Amino acid sequence: MNNELLRINLTTKQISLEKIPESVVYSYVGGTGYITYYLYKELEPKTDPLGPENKIIIATGPAQGTRIPITGRYAVGTKSPLTNHFLDSHAGGFLGPEIRFAGYDLIIIEGKAENPVYISIKDDKVEIKDAKNLWGKLSYETEDAIREEQNEPKMRIICIGPAGENLVAISCPTADSHRNPGRGGLGAVFGSKNLKAIAVKGSSRPTNGDQEKIGELRKEYNARAKQAIDAGRGMNKYGTSDAVGFANEMSQYPTRNWQSGEFEEYEKVGGVEMDEKYKAMKRPCYGCPIGCSSTLDGSDFEWTEKKEIARPEYETLAMLGGNCGISNNETIIHANYLCNQLGLDTISTGSGIAMVMEAVEKGLLKGEEFEGIKFGNDEKLLEMLELIAYRKGIGEILAREEMHKQLNIGELSI
């Protein structure tokens, strides 16, 4: 590790490089450890999560970007506008390794830009770029536009959609088109800083560690993964969607706002049904032999022009599926696609919509704006995603933090 901390102040436009103290490196290691240390060290008590004093921290780990497999996940931390507490969120893909390829172990973003901006990182060339033309764009459009502008077709990008721009409390950024560090309203913190995206391209490779030992570990892990795949075990074939059946069998599959843990149509929602109907393509995270992540052929769906779209993970199949009484796989795939485009966390979104559905079902919510909002209404589910992201109608209520606060962990207050 280079122990390099890249600090970017959007208010002053100052960009600086610092060394992470060796004591911090060995005591906190990386990822969540770094986020914990720096948030508690640098944030004043009672900091407004959507104020310029809050910070966004992107932290890699010591093995990230090396030849050690299954090390593709990175962490993003901030003070959550949803819970008002410490937040660290994680995602896989390629952004974390790319940050290390550019020479950094940690990125801290602070302040607030006067107008929409994005951050471009190309090794030691770090720039704050105008993003007024990107504001309002969906996530996929933003990624495509930045890669074209930077003339870097393989640039790794994390960005927000309209939900983050509109400070929706359950918004999240999207990276690599469908990798989401979700929960906690991280997208709203990006939006509060007028930060549309962070784009990274690196040209080096980490060389830390005993390369001979790393080579041995790599062979061992890859062999074990192959044995599991050959034996039909693991998540290689269906990814996390394979957990639908197991969760339902254990009475733990969210059904109609958790009124039940068993969904009578669960078999229509899982990975087996999905792979029988649609063409799936393996898209593993960086250096991962398990390969649980896949995309679907976009040509199978008339509502998108994208060549590939994400295959929903278990949490999405649960919260936008059974929890909303939805058993149509294409509807869930479409809902997942819209959440990625708009920048909405599928777990909190599905939870909020299901809560409204139950309240309508029980007669607690009445009126024209609630007409048709009921379990199993595919069309209404998709419609409500747009309403939440753009804070329209019932979506304005579901976009607020008061609707989603679930934790009150006093010892984690910052």
Please check the confidence at residue 27 and state whether its pLDDT lies above 60.
Answer: yes
Instruction: Enter the DSSP assignment of 311.
Output: P
Distance between start and end Cα atoms, the chain: 29
Q: Nearest CA to 314 among 259, 257, 380, 269?
A: 269
For residue 44, the tally of other CB atoms under 10 A from its CB is 7
Please check the confidence at residue 147 and state whether its pLDDT lies above 60.
Answer: yes
> Rounded to an integer, what distance in angstroms lies between the CA atom of residue 221 and that of residue 224?
5
> Rounded to an integer, what distance in angstroms lies between the CA atom of residue 143 and that of residue 306?
13
Please check the confidence at residue 403 and state whether its pLDDT lies above 80.
Answer: no
Amino acid identity of residue 65, one-letter, is: G
Per-residue model confidence as pLDDT tens digits over 338-360:
999 999 999 999 999 999 999 99
pLDDT on residue 412: 36
H or E element, residue 90: strand 86-91
Look up the pTM and report it: 0.94
Please check the confidence at residue 13 and state whether its pLDDT lies above 90.
Answer: yes
Instruction: Tell me what the mean pLDDT of segment 394-411 comes to.
Output: 66
Do residues 374 and 357 lie in contact, with contact meaning Cβ atoms separated by under 8 Å?
yes
pLDDT category at 239 given cuts 50, 70, 90 is confident
Per-residue model confidence as pLDDT tens digits over 153-173:
999 999 999 999 999 999 999
Please check the confidence at residue 313 and state whether its pLDDT lies above 90.
Answer: yes
Q: Which domains does the chain have, with CATH numbers?
A: 4-201 (3.60.9.10), 227-403 (1.10.569.10)
pLDDT on residue 124: 96
Q: Nearest CA to 58 among 6, 102, 17?
A: 6
> Rounded to an integer, what distance in angstroms lies between the CA atom of residue 89 and that of residue 62?
18
Q: Nearest CA to 373 among 347, 393, 400, 353?
A: 353
Per-residue model confidence as pLDDT tens digits over 43-102:
999 999 999 999 999 999 998 998 888 888 999 999 999 999 999 999 999 999 999 999
Q: Nearest CA to 164 among 178, 176, 144, 182?
A: 182
pLDDT category at 406 given cuts 50, 70, 90 is very low
Q: Nearest CA to 222 among 64, 65, 70, 96?
A: 70
